[in-house]
Amino acid sequence: MTAPPSGSGERLLHMIQLIASGPDTFTLGEFAERAQLPLSSVHRLLKTLERAGFVERGSGLSYRRGRELHRIASQIVSRFDLARSALPLLQDLVDRFHETALLCVYSPVSRRAVVAEVVITPHPLRFNVEKGQEIALPWGSMGPAVLAFLPKSEIEMVLRTEHAGPLTGMPRPTRDELEVEFEHVRQHGFASYREPKFDAAGVAAPVFNGENEILGCLGVITLSSRFSLTMEQEVAAALRAAAEDLSQQAAVSPSPGAMLSRN
């Protein structure tokens, strides 16, 4: 993973990932540094990407994402835009409960959940959540809601990867504790979490694709001090409903010509 990829194929894919997440313009040397690859190799590979329109050159010595890359990206997104479908659902949740609601998508590469869409609570006191942020799976509510439905082998890999908790390095829950949590998620269709020490609380419900594989989860996060148990029940029910709705939408795989009807 951290090891420099070998072979032009793997290297190219690695570079595409960096180009997507990196700055809007960059130079060869700068990029070679980030990619951890020799200059001349990066140069050659960038030339390949350039021929395909994946990157373009700006004035002088700068590179930037190419229009072909934008074209492909928007094509992919418009054909499966879970975030866009989720936005009205998230908005409803926030309108109803006045707490931050978000959609996380499981990323098998990083073995974490990525925040794909978020609607922030109007409350001035709140946890900060940003689109693109990564969430480790063994803690909180969002993580277990996803983790519980991953294949056993994948769960193993996740647990082996994660050790120190995201807030203040809290140790990972034991397998047994997690197993109890998983059982609850599978039974009731949602996970909940309370950590009075940090005044944190959350509820999350899993989202699946058409083949009943886990895609991610919808969640609501708030402060435990303003999150009553009766409210938790209501939020959980609303989340389950929203998550099922979204799973339904994800199941109908759009036909190539149906792009317009999805907007």
Partner DNA sequence: ACACCATTTCCGGAATATGGAATTCTTTCT
Partner DNA sequence: AGAAAGAATTCCATATTCCGGAAATGGTGT
Which residue ranges make up the site for DNA (CB under 7 A)? 6-11, 27-30, 37-41, 43-48, 59-61
* 263 vs 261: CA distance, rounded Å: 6
Of residues 30 and 134, the one with the C-beta less far from DNA = 30
First-to-last alpha carbon distance for the chain, in angstroms, is 37
Of residues 174 and 263, the one with the C-beta less far from its own copies = 263
Of residues 16 and 83, the one with the C-beta less far from DNA = 16
Report helix, strand and coil shares of the chain as percent, to nearest 5.
Answer: 50, 20, 30
Residue 154: count other Cβ atoms within 10 Å of its Cβ: 15
246 alpha carbon, distance to own chain's centre: 15
Residue 30 contact partner, candidates DNA, its own copies, none, CB within 5 to 8 A by sort of partner: DNA
CB of 171 to its own copies, least distance (A): 29
CB of 85 to its own copies, least distance (A): 12
Instruction: Evaluate whether 129 touches 113 at the Cβ level (below 8 Å).
Output: no
Residue 128 contact partner, candidates DNA, its own copies, none, CB within 5 to 8 A by sort of partner: none
CB of 53 to DNA, least distance (A): 16
Bridge partner residues of 63 (DSSP): 26, 57
Of residues 7 and 169, the one with the C-beta less far from DNA = 7
CB of 196 to DNA, least distance (A): 49
Of residues 109 and 229, the one with the C-beta less far from its own copies = 109
DSSP state letter for 221: E
Residue 60 contact partner, candidates DNA, its own copies, none, CB within 5 to 8 A by sort of partner: DNA
* 217 vs 108: CA distance, rounded Å: 14
